[in-house]
């Protein structure tokens, strides 16, 4: 029986690439998305074409009650998750003096509260299953070193790294690993409008990363070969420092 894995924010970009990478490893996938039914349908079709059994689970990770209800319903129908990828994220950039309270609150709610809202309902079912497991959060280079114009995003992603490391300590004896992947600048919709030529000058490899390259790292962390890796932050950023 294939292991059951949840990927949040799976309808496009990095989340879709992660789902595809895990599909190729033979996992059964619950693909979370917030609102774009068309994009979610495309992701589902791609994952199924890769040979995986998959389903869509619609909820907003920042809405605690909705997340709880959706996750409990999915686990009731399909059993506890063996793995979870907390990928759903949001940015709303502005210099700190002009950063609006709404932008601060929403970025923290999605990126950091989403960790609690998704993992709180699923961790104890994972523990009770006595099968070990994998949890991977998707942080950011911005959360490791900070980034001007992203005080809210950097704060949320840095907090996500701290939460990841702490949860890893709690779950290690249960053979559930908890790690974070911190992408640099990846070629997705999130960087539309950014000054790409200036950005490339900062990257030693002189190119943007590809979503599939993040998916491959997550897939490695879900493999048997990564069973002794926990509490770590794997930076995938072309050499940025």
Model confidence pLDDT, tens digit, residues 73-86: 999 999 999 999 99
| Rounded-to-integer distance, Cα 183 and Cα 238, Å | 9
Q: Is residue 151 part of a domain?
A: yes
**Is residue 239 situated within a structural domain?**
no
pTM, two decimal places = 0.95
Tell me which residue of 141, 233, 235 sits closest to 190, measured CA to CA: 141
Alpha-carbon distance of 81 to 4, in angstroms, equals 5
Q: What rounded mean pLDDT belongs to the chain?
A: 95
C-alpha distances in Å from residue 169, one per residue of 138, 165, 176, 178:
18, 7, 10, 8
Q: What's the confidence (pLDDT) of residue 193? A: 66
Residue 44 has pLDDT above 80, yes or no: yes
| 168-212 pLDDT tens trace | 999 999 999 999 999 998 988 777 766 778 878 889 999 999 999
What CATH number has the domain bearing residue 93?
Answer: 3.40.50.720
Active-site residue, selected from the candidate residues 33, 116, 153, 228:
153
Domain enclosing residue 83, as ranges: 4-234
Q: Domain for residue 191, yes or no?
A: yes
Lowest mean pLDDT among 164-168, 188-192, 214-218: 188-192
The rounded distance, in Å, linking the Cα atoms of 28 and 30 is 7
Tell me if 165 sits within 8 A of 137, measured CB to CB: no
Instruction: State how many domains the chain has.
Output: 1
Instruction: Tell me the per-residue pLDDT of 81-126, one tens digit each, with 9 for 90 and over.
Output: 999 999 999 999 999 999 999 999 999 999 999 999 999 999 999 9
- What residue spans of 13-100 are helical by DSSP H? 13-23, 37-49, 64-78
Share of the chain above pLDDT 70, in %: 99
Asked if residue 131 belongs to a domain, the reply is yes
Predicted pLDDT at 2: 84
**First-residue to last-residue Cα distance in the chain:** 42
- Statement: residue 140 has pLDDT above 70: yes
Active-site residue 153, yes or no?
A: yes
Of 9, 20, 8, nearest to 210 by C-alpha is 20
């Amino acid at each position: 029986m294939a292991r059951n894995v949840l990927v949040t924010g799976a309808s496009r970009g990095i989340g879709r690439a992660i789902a595809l990478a895990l599909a190729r490893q033979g996992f059964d996938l619950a693909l979370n998305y917030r609102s774009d039914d068309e994009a979610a349908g495309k992701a589902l079709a791609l994952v199924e074409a890769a040979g995986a059994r998959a389903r869509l689970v619609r909820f907003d990770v920042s809405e605690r009650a909705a997340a709880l209800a959706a996750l409990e319903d999915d686990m009731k129908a399909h059993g506890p998750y063996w793995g979870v990828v907390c990928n759903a994220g949001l940015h709303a950039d502005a210099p700190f003096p002009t950063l609006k309270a709404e932008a601060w609150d929403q970025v923290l709610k999605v990126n950091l509260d989403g960790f609690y809202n998704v993992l709180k309902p699923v961790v104890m079912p994972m523990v009770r299953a006595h099968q070990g497991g994998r949890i991977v959060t998707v942080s950011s280079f911005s959360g490791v070193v900070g980034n001007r114009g992203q005080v809210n995003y950097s704060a949320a992603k840095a907090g996500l790294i701290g939460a990841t490391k702490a949860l890893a300590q709690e779950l290690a004896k249960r053979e559930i690993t908890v790690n974070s992947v911190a992408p640099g600048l990846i070629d997705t919709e999130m960087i539309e409008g950014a000054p790409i030529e200036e950005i490339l000058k900062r990257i030693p490899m002189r190119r943007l990363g590809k979503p599939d390259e993040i998916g491959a790292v997550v897939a490695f962390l879900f493999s048997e070969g990564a069973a002794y890796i926990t509490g770590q932050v794997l930076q995938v950023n072309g050499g940025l420092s």
